[in-house]
Structure 1
């Protein structure tokens, strides 16, 4: 029956409705062809990894980026919300 709504979303903290800034790390240095798949992201190449930084990402955008990483066969190392962003 209809009671108070409970926060039981996909994650304990959830992604704020307005979005948040995220840093996503993948193994290796991705080439120019792969970089074009992440045009909305800031890309930082490090010696052993590539860091993708996205500003104001909502949950749908974050999952879309993770889907692209998987589809391209990239190895995901870490996803983290940057401090001081979002609600």
Structure 2
């Protein structure tokens, strides 16, 4: 499974480094992160990491690889 996760604001390199399994790019006032997610547990772990870092997930969707 591949996911695209859009986060409010422009994440710093330090913050994006907390997600080594995802690639990122900044578009307008959002950071788009994307990459493979191995299973549901991994997805929930990513979401918990975003929350613990105080990041606001605007959109999340499964994409074709």
Is the pair's TM-score, using the shorter chain for normalization, greater than 0.5? yes
In the alignment, structure 1 segments of 5+ residues that lack a partner are 1-19
Whichever structure has more strand as a proportion of its residues is 2
Structure with greater contact order relative to length (CA < 8 Å, sep ≥ 6) = 2
* Number of residue pairs matched by the alignment: 65
Q: What's the TM-score once normalised by structure 1's chain length?
A: 0.69
- How large is the Cα RMSD of the aligned pairs? 1.2
**Which of 30, 49, 60 matches 2:11?**
30
Work out whether residues 37 and 43 of structure 2, in 8 Å CA contact, stay in contact via their aligned partners in 1. no
TM-score, length of structure 2 as denominator length = 0.90
Choose 1 or 2 for highest CA Rg: 1
Alpha-carbon shift at residue 57 of structure 1 (Å): 2.8
Unaligned runs of 5+ in 2: none
